[in-house]
Amino acid sequence: MQAWLRDLFDGRPTWINALMVFCAYMTFVYVPWDLFVKPVAEDEEVWLGILFTGWAAKVTTPFHWAIYAAGFHGFHRMRSWMWPWAAVYAGTVAFGMLVWPILYRDSFLVGVVAFIPFAFLTRALWRAETLFGAERVPLRERYGEWALVTGASAGIGAAFARALAREGMSVVLTARRRDRLEALAAELEKNFSVETRVVEENLAIAEGAERLVRAVSDLPIAVLVNNAGFGAAGRFDKLQAERLRDMVTVNCVAPMVLTRRILPRMREEGKGAVIFVGSVAGRQPLPLHGVYSATKAFDLFLGESLYAEQREHGIDVLVVEPGSTETEFHDVAGEIPHEGDSPETVVEDALEALGHQPSVVSGWYNWLRANAAQRIPPRSLAVHLAREYTERQTPEDLQ
Ligand SMILES: NC(=O)c1ccc[n+]([C@@H]2O[C@H](COP(=O)([O-])OP(=O)(O)OC[C@H]3O[C@@H](n4cnc5c(N)ncnc54)[C@H](OP(=O)(O)O)[C@@H]3O)[C@@H](O)[C@H]2O)c1
């Protein structure tokens, strides 16, 4: 609980934390009560000092809820768009505080007294621009010189390698396709003047991960990106047993072994980062992708557990959970082609969340879908809904 509170309140001035708590109270307690419990006849809302009552008040309550919810999110993440939005909103409240007593209490003095604190708040928020959207400290400065990215020959892994190199990190690139890795290494060295090392390795082989660890044992790996992975669309009994076993080895065993071997050095340094590339598929059972969703649930649980274990020792652990992403993944999995986000978006979301939270779903629509699927319907219904979704992506002969 203490660690959670520290995480929640760290890095913001007390007065901003107080505003965040107020917005949270309004979002999760007061406005829902106002909207769903308070009788219409008793409802009152004030906008710019003008009083609305009854249904006119009730229909505007959701707007109040949206404002406070956005405020909570904006203060929580200290988003750059909070400035000047928060100051403008505080300004409208100050104006309302001045106008409302004049219109309805016939008292200019009460209006002025109520106006003053909100005017000060507006001014403070207006002057707090630099607190919002502060530049992220470059990863090399934050963690160290070298990063290791598995599955760097394509898709999300290649995007991670480029992003890390852009932040000045030297990168170990590993996968099975050496030619792709060498081309990417040359690109990174040329564009970002960083060092690279290419390690060709098959992580589906039991000793693959250990061999990879030996190949980088001379390097101080400060950021580990457990990205290599694949899926296979189809009914469990129609998929090759060997392919499924390889999937568990690549998606689960390799990240676990690599993290276990590389983490102690980060602990000695007192800093480092481990990123697991999970999936929204890891949030729920996925018929026709059962083993894949189970492997991603493994990554999610392992990564989130390590976040809580390692945080106080300076190690940031994050599970990034992409939804459908435009890479070679769908092809490799044998899925019917469908649209997705760009791998760069996934990486951007991951690097922004790193150090702040245990996991992040990339894309708000994926977040909504993952949470709606996981939390709202009973599991007996959720699995059938999930099947309807995966059926559309799975060739008929594999269903
Ligand atoms: N694309 C999506 O829709 C999506 C959605 C959610 C999560 N993800 C996750 O994102 C991660 C990256 O996938 P992606 O979308 O970028 O797919 P991708 O384009 O197919 O890339 C997969 C990477 O993993 C490597 N890899 C696969 N099997 C390997 C093995 N046996 N040994 C070593 N490396 C291996 C591949 O390299 P080689 O073939 O050269 O070995 C490649 O670099 C995966 O963990 C995946 O589960 C993807």
Farthest-apart Cα atoms in the chain, separation:
81
Give the pTM: 0.89
**Which atom of ligand 1 is least distant from the CA of 159?**
16
Is 273 a member of any domain?
Answer: yes
In this predicted structure, what is the pLDDT of residue 6?
A: 86
Would you say residue 112 lies in a domain? Answer: yes
Flag whether 6 is in a domain.
no
Give the distance from CA 380 to its chain's centroid.
28
Pinpoint the alpha helices (H) of 334-396.
343-353, 364-375, 379-391
Neighbour-count burial for 171-190, b at 16+ CB within 10 Å, e otherwise: bbbbbeeeebbeebbeebee
- Same-domain pairing of 121 and 163: no
Confidence at residue 384, expressed as pLDDT on a 0 to 100 scale = 92
Ligand 1: does its nearest atom lie under 6 Å from the Cβ of 175?
Answer: yes
Render pLDDT for 32-76 as a digit per residue (tens, 0 to 9).
999 999 999 999 999 999 999 999 999 999 999 999 999 999 999
Last residue of one domain, picked from the residues 131, 150, 174:
131
The domain tally of the chain equals: 2
What is the model's pLDDT at position 370?
A: 84
Measure the CA–CA gap between 208 and 200, rounded to whole angstroms: 10
Q: Are residues 122 and 257 in the same domain?
A: no
Question: 249 and 169 in one domain?
Answer: yes
**Both tokens of residue 141?**
């400065």
Tell which residue, 280, 284, 277, 358, has the closest CA to residue 323.
280
Instruction: Please report whether residue 388 resides in a domain.
Output: yes
The predicted pLDDT at position 363 comes to 94
User: Within the chain, which residues score under 70 in pLDDT?
Assistant: none
293 and 318 fall within a common domain: yes
The Cα 390–Cα 371 span in angstroms is 17
So what's the pLDDT on residue 136?
81
pLDDT at 374: 76
Residue 395 CB: number of other CB atoms within 10 A? Answer: 11
Question: Known catalytic residue: 30?
Answer: no
pLDDT of residue 174: 98
| pLDDT tens-digit map of 271-325 | 999 999 999 999 999 999 999 999 999 999 999 999 999 999 999 999 999 999 9
Instruction: Answer whether residue 2 is part of any domain.
Output: no
CATH label of the domain that carries residue 211:
3.40.50.720
- Regarding whether 222 and 120 lie in a shared domain, the answer is no
Quick check: is 3 in a domain? no
5 lies in some domain? no
Range of the structural domain that residue 181 is part of = 139-398
Query: Do 151 and 114 reside in the same domain of the chain?
Result: no
Closest CA to 322 of 303, 296, 304, 298: 296
pLDDT at 225 (0 to 100): 98
Residue with CA nearest ligand 1 atom 25: 151
> Residue 326's pLDDT is what?
97
- Probe target for ligand 1 pocket from 244, 253, 286, 325, with the most ligand atoms within 8 Å of CB: 325
Residue 330 and residue 382 in one domain? yes
Substitution site in 149, 150, 156, 320 for ligand 1 pocket (most atoms within 8 Å of beta carbon) = 156
Domain boundary among 109, 131, 153: 131
